[in-house]
C-alpha cells in the first residue's frame, strides 16, 4: 500500500513531515493524509516528487518493485535513449507491428517503452498516454504488471499464472473491465514481453 510505503521510507530516511512537504510542494497535513491513506489518489507530479525525496523510483513507491536498494532512477548517471514501441491497449488489445517508432530519454533501467492507451490500468495510476518502461523477461511474478503479446496484439495487465491449472489471468486495474482468462492450449497464444518497471506521466 502506497500510504505505508511513504511512511516507512520517510522514517527510514529520518525525514520530518515538514521536510517532505516542502520538497513535494504541499502541506504537512497533506503528507500526513497520504501516509494515513486518507488521500489515496495522489497526483502524478506529487508521486514523482515523493519518489525523489525518498530516493526511490515512482514504481517502487507504488509497490511495483520489491527491492529496497537505491534504483538507477535516483542515481542520475545520465539519461539514455530507450526505444519506444507502438501503443499498448489497456481496454482491448490493439495491433502492434513490433517496430520502434521513437525514443525516450530516461534514466530508467529498461529495454524499451510503450505508450499506454485506454483506462483499464488507472488503479495502478497508469493513464491513457502514459509512457510505460519495460524490462525484457519471459516470465513475471504473480501480481506484477507486464506487457503481453496475444496473437500479434499487445496489452498491459497484471499477470497471474497457475501452472497446476494451466491457467493464465491478465487482470486490469479498473472494475469496468473483466479479466482475460486463458487455459490449456490457449496459453500457446501468450508471450510475455517483459515487466513494467516504471512509468512517465504528464502532470494531471
pLDDT single digits (tens) 93-105: 443 444 445 666 6
CA dihedral 54, 58, 60, 63 (to 10 degrees): 120
The answer on pLDDT for 149 being more than 70 is: yes
Task: Tell me the mean pLDDT in the region 139-157.
Answer: 88
Catalytic residue among 87, 106, 135, 157: 157
pTM, entire model? 0.57
Conformation bin of residue 178: beta by default, left when phi > 0, alpha when psi is -120 to 50: beta
d(CA 203, CA 123): 17
Query: Catalytic: 120?
Result: yes
Task: Tell me the mean pLDDT in the region 154-168.
Answer: 93
Count CB-CB contacts under 10 A for residue 24.
22
Query: Catalytic: 83?
Result: no
51 plus 100 within the same structural domain:
no
Which CATH number does the domain housing residue 25 bear?
1.10.260.40
Q: What is the mean pLDDT of the chain?
A: 80
Cα Rg of the chain, angstroms: 18
127 plus 191 within the same structural domain:
yes
In a domain, 101, yes or no: yes
The answer on pLDDT for 131 being more than 90 is: no
| 97 CB burial (10 A radius; 0-12, 13-18, 19+) | exposed
Q: Which domain holds residue 133?
A: 80-200
Banded pLDDT at 153 (limits 50, 70, 90): confident
51 plus 85 within the same structural domain:
no
The answer on pLDDT for 181 being more than 50 is: yes
pLDDT of the residue at 180: 93
pLDDT of the residue at 170: 96
pLDDT single digits (tens) 25-74: 999 999 999 998 888 778 878 888 888 888 777 777 776 554 444 444 44
37 vs 88 pLDDT, higher one:
37
154 plus 92 within the same structural domain:
yes
163 vs 106 pLDDT, higher one:
163
14 plus 113 within the same structural domain:
no
pLDDT of the residue at 93: 41
Conformation bin of residue 3: beta by default, left when phi > 0, alpha when psi is -120 to 50: alpha
**Total structural domains within the chain:** 2
C-alpha cell at 71: 534504483
Which CATH number does the domain housing residue 115 bear?
2.10.109.10
Catalytic residue among 59, 89, 120, 201: 120
d(CA 202, CA 162): 36
C-alpha cell at 85: 514501441
7 plus 96 within the same structural domain:
no
C-alpha cell at 172: 486490469
Amino acid at each position: 500500500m502506497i500510504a505505508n510505503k511513504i511512511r516507512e521510507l520517510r522514517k527510514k530516511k529520518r525525514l520530518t513531515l515538514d521536510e517532505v512537504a516542502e520538497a513535494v510542494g504541499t502541506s504537512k497535513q497533506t503528507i500526513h493524509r497520504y501516509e494515513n491513506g486518507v488521500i489515496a489518489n495522489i497526483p502524478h507530479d506529487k508521486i514523482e516528487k515523493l519518489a525523489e525525496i525518498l530516493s526511490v523510483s515512482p514504481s517502487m513507491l507504488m509497490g511495483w518493485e520489491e527491492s529496497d536498494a537505491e534504483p538507477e532512477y535516483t542515481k542520475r548517471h545520465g539519461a539514455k535513449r530507450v526505444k519506444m514501441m507502438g501503443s499498448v491497449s489497456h481496454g482491448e488489445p490493439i495491433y502492434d507491428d513490433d517496430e520502434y517508432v521513437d525514443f525516450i530519454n530516461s534514466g530508467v533501467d529498461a529495454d524499451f517503452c510503450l505508450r499506454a492507451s485506454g483506462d483499464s490500468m488507472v488503479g495502478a495510476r497508469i493513464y491513457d498516454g502514459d509512457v510505460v518502461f519495460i524490462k525484457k523477461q519471459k516470465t513475471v511474478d504473480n501480481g506484477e504488471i507486464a506487457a503481453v503479446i496475444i496473437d500479434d496484439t499487445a496489452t498491459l495487465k497484471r499477470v497471474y499464472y497457475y501452472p497446476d491449472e494451466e491457467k493464465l489471468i491478465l487482470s486490469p486495474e479498473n472494475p469496468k473491465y473483466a479479466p482475460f482468462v486463458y487455459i490449456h492450449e490457449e496459453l500457446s497464444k501468450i508471450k510475455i514481453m517483459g515487466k513494467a518497471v516504471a512509468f512517465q506521466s504528464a502532470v494531471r
